[in-house]
A and B are shown apart, each in its own frame.
Chain A
Amino acid sequence: MTNPRGRFGIHGGQYIPETLMNAVIELEKAYDHYKDEPTFNQELTELLNEYAGRPSRLYFADKMSRDLCGAKIYLKREDLNHTGSHKINNVLGQALLAKKMGKTRLIAETGAGQHGVATATAAALLDMKCVVFMGEEDTIRQALNVYRMKLLGADVVSVKSGTATLKDAVSEAMREWTSRIADTHYCLGSVMGPHPFPTIVRDFQAVISKETKAQLLAKEGRLPDAVIACVGGGSNAMGSFYHFIDHKEVMLIGCEAAGRGIDTFETAATVNTGRVGIFHGMKSYFCQDAYGQIAPVYSISAGLDYPGIGPEHAYLHDIGRAQYVPVTDDEAVDAFEYLAKTEGIICAIESAHAVAHAMKIAPTMRKEQIIVITISGRGDKDCAAIARYRGEDIHE
């Protein structure tokens, strides 16, 4: 699907300062070399299975399915991975690759803190230094994850520029990489940024749909009717969609964070409210004003609070292969509570966006139809924030 220099239709590319060009070229060469190398893949599979706990379960949510009186709902349990989210899939791949490239230091951006925690974890395991950039705003709403990263030996840099959220953390990580590329690998956490990142991250996350496909074939003897995942930059969604893209009968649905609604300015729904632009190394859809200034986006979910979307998603939208729907804070919080009470699963507020959309469409579908929702992460990190949202002040 990737054209030369990482084009997905008109999207993608390498819109980065000249300073970084040799670094991304070096990364692309290394990735092209290692991605099919048996030893690398054996080591990675070993890490994914023995350390991260793959394959993740594909769980039939019987109670939820019966309650919604429609399609059968399966949950792809990425929340059960080590470190509590899908982020570990990509991080173990990139950290191992960086190590093979002779890098000794990993830097990363993080929104909700899940990617930061995963990167700090891989760095600890593989004996590498680690610095995580996190918006100041996010360090407050995700204080627990800041502590986890420090516990794992990483330095956490609180980013105060701009809106002090994920976008600013990405900018700061890029800036840091610009000034130090010799020993440092930028472990980008989503299917975004300059080529080859969108392709590398997609490939490492594609394990999700590879497993889902095999697991569902074993359980049901067929493919799902719909795959639903939340989308910020879009890594868990891209991984969840990838092996179904060629199966046109499988609906692919990405759930964007609408915040307080797509008719307000307090939203992060990129496809629904943005337009094509060039930012953070890629051409894709971005929330921006009439003059191309990147918009200060908002969502209750720190992990989806990003003004852009990965270029392959932008392409899947353009060709109509996937649809991207907005889900508000209110709907996500309702779904967060619903899944806890119905299935006994406290999912990440990010993943709750996907659950919310499934709750809307499942009742409209027939009983023999199947929906797979990717539960991208677990929700312990969000409990305090959700309590506050409901007007309850709890102390961790």
Chain B
Amino acid sequence: MNKIKEAFRNGKAFIAFITCGDPDLDTTAAAIHAAVENGADLIELGIPFSDPTAEGPVIHGANVRALNGGVTTDQIFTFVKNLRHDISIPLVFTTYANVVFSYGTERFLATCQEIGIDGLILPDLPFEEKEEFLPSCHKYGIGFISLIAPTSQNRIAMIAKEAEGFLYIASSLGTTDAKSEIKASLSSIVQIARQYADIPCAIGCDIATPEQAKDMAAIADGAIVGSAIVSLLEKYGKDAPAYIGDYVKAMKEAM
């Protein structure tokens, strides 16, 4: 579980989200290598779900492409096991509760430990329901990452106190006009969270440009980039890894 914190050891962390199997696992492997070689500190590996209700259209599209390509949870486990031969940075799975539950929660998390996964993010699992997965996460040493949203308000302290790995602050930058307001609100969320937990805070909010990455790095301990990377995969398909490498480099340098 402590391995996740390594991602935050060398300055601000750049966290890249990639959906496994979009458009195929060979491309995913190349994309991960490109991201890691260019400075990514942690990779969020998405296991696709048929109905990703918490995602916007871009990541939803990646889920659809991956499932249409026929990728399964078992194939992704084998894929990660092979990936671990030369990728040593922390890796976490992001997926939906049903993917874990249906596989068998205990069996899923035991496999995570075996193949070298460090954490689990479930966007459809709030604080109130985490007991569903927490005991198995603890048994197999998998960090259960908690999410905080701008609507969390009075819930931030409760969530932060029991957070593991890092705190994932999920927001949306929205329109340019509202940007400064959103930045202020994210900054106050981080401040409140830090009062209650000695844990890195990373922000994921449709960050796309190096300037935005810099802004978020100034507020928190790391920036999570999903849609922008997935868009490159959508646009360039199998040729995306080279573009992802350049993109991660520019982002990491800005932070």
| Contacts from A to B (Cβ < 8 Å) | 5, 13-23, 161-162, 167-168, 171, 174-175, 178-179, 181, 275-281, 286, 288, 290-294
Contact = CB atoms under 8 A, between A and B. Distances in A.
A14 B73 CA distance: 25
A361 to B, nearest CB: 34
B172 A16 contact: no
A22 B155 contact: yes
A161 B60 contact: yes
B101 A293 contact: no
Contact of A292 (B54, B101, B151, B154): B101
Contacts of B50: 162, 293-294
A18 B152 contact: yes
A21 B127 contact: yes
Contacts of A18: 126-127, 147-149, 151-152, 155, 159, 170
A317 B129 CA distance: 23
Interface in B121-137: 123-129, 132
A20 B129 CA distance: 13
B99 interface: yes
A291 B73 contact: yes
Contact of A293 (B67, B97, B170): B67
B51 A294 contact: yes
Contacts of B159: 18
B102 interface: yes
B35 to A, nearest CB: 26
Given A14-B129, A17-B54, A167-B51, A286 B98 contact: yes
B247 interface: no
Interface in B192-245: none
Given A18-B151, A21-B152, 5 more contacts: A19-B149, A162-B51, A278-B124, A288-B102, A292-B49
Q: Taking each of B49, B53, B100, B153, which has the highest tally of chain A beta carbons within 10 Å of its own beta carbon? A: B53
Contacts, number: 105
A25 to B, nearest CB: 9
A291 B102 contact: yes
A177 to B, nearest CB: 10
Nearest to B71: A291
Contacts of A278: 96-98, 101, 124, 132
Q: Taking each of B99, B154, B170, which has the highest tally of chain A beta carbons within 10 Å of its own beta carbon? A: B99
A16 B126 contact: yes
Contact of A277 (B101, B125, B132, B170): B101
Which 8 A-B residue pairings sit nearest by Cβ, starting from the closest?
Answer: A292-B102, A19-B149, A293-B50, A278-B97, A292-B98, A17-B54, A294-B50, A171-B53
B151 A23 contact: yes
Interface in B69-101: 72-74, 96-101
B99 A292 contact: yes
Interface of B: 49-51, 53-54, 56, 60, 64, 67, 72-74, 96-103, 123-129, 132, 147-155, 159, 170, 172
Contacts of B97: 15, 278
10 contacts: A19-B54, A19-B149, A19-B151, A21-B155, A22-B153, A277-B101, A290-B102, A291-B102, A292-B103, A294-B50
A15 B96 CA distance: 10
Nearest to A175: B53
Contacts of B53: 17, 171, 174-175, 280
B149 A17 contact: yes
Contacts of B49: 292-293
A288 B126 CA distance: 23
Contacts of B124: 15-17, 278, 281
Contacts of A291: 72-74, 99, 102-103
Contact of B98 (A16, A162, A175, A288): A288
B105 to A, nearest CB: 10
Contacts of B73: 291-292
Given A171-B53, A294-B98, A13 B129 contact: yes
Contact of A179 (B125, B126, B172): B172
A168 to B, nearest CB: 8
A17 B103 contact: no
A277 B73 CA distance: 16
Contacts of A290: 102
B86 to A, nearest CB: 27
A178 B171 CA distance: 11
A171 B56 CA distance: 11
B126 A21 contact: yes
B51 A171 contact: yes
Contacts of B56: 175
Contacts of B101: 276-278, 292
Contacts of A179: 172
